Amino acid sequence: MTLLHFYLGCAVLGGALLVLRTLMLLAGFGGDATDGPDFDPGTEVSDGDVSEGTPGADFRLFSMHGITSFLLLFGLSGYLLTFRELCGPLPAAAISLALGFAAMWSIAKIFQASRRLQTDGTVRLADAVGQNGTVYLAIRPGAAGKVQVTARGQLKVFDARARDPAAEIPTGAPIAVVAAEDVLVVEKR
7-63 pLDDT, tens digit per residue, is 999 999 999 998 998 898 888 886 544 444 443 444 334 444 444 444 444 567 788
Residue from 151, 157, 159 nearest 121 by CA = 151
Q: What is the pLDDT of residue 115?
A: 79
Q: What is the pLDDT of residue 73?
A: 94
Helix (H, G, I), strand (E, B) or coil at 97: helix
For residue 89, the Cα-to-chain-centroid distance in whole angstroms is 41
Q: What is the pLDDT of residue 48?
A: 42
Q: Reply yes or no on whether the pLDDT at 180 is more than 90.
A: yes
Average pLDDT value for residue range 153-175 = 93
Q: What is the pLDDT of residue 30?
A: 66
Phi then psi for residue 187, to 5 deg, are -140, 155
The rounded distance, in Å, linking the Cα atoms of 99 and 105 is 10
The rounded distance, in Å, linking the Cα atoms of 188 and 166 is 13
Residues of the chain with CATH 2.40.50.140: 125-188
125-188 CATH fold: OB fold (Dihydrolipoamide Acetyltransferase, E2P) (2.40.50)
pTM (predicted TM-score): 0.51
Residue 169 near residue 184, CB atoms below 8 Å = no
96-147 pLDDT, tens digit per residue, is 999 999 999 998 888 888 877 877 778 888 989 999 999 999 999 989 999 9
Q: What is the pLDDT of residue 154?
A: 87
Residue from 181, 186, 137, 180 nearest 165 by CA = 186
The rounded distance, in Å, linking the Cα atoms of 132 and 137 is 16
Q: Give every CB contact of residue 135 below 8 A, 6+ residues apart in sequence.
A: 145, 146, 147, 148, 160, 169, 170, 171, 172, 173, 175, 186
Give me the count of residues in the chain. Answer: 189
Residue 85 pLDDT grade (very low, low, confident, very high; cuts 50, 70, 90)? confident
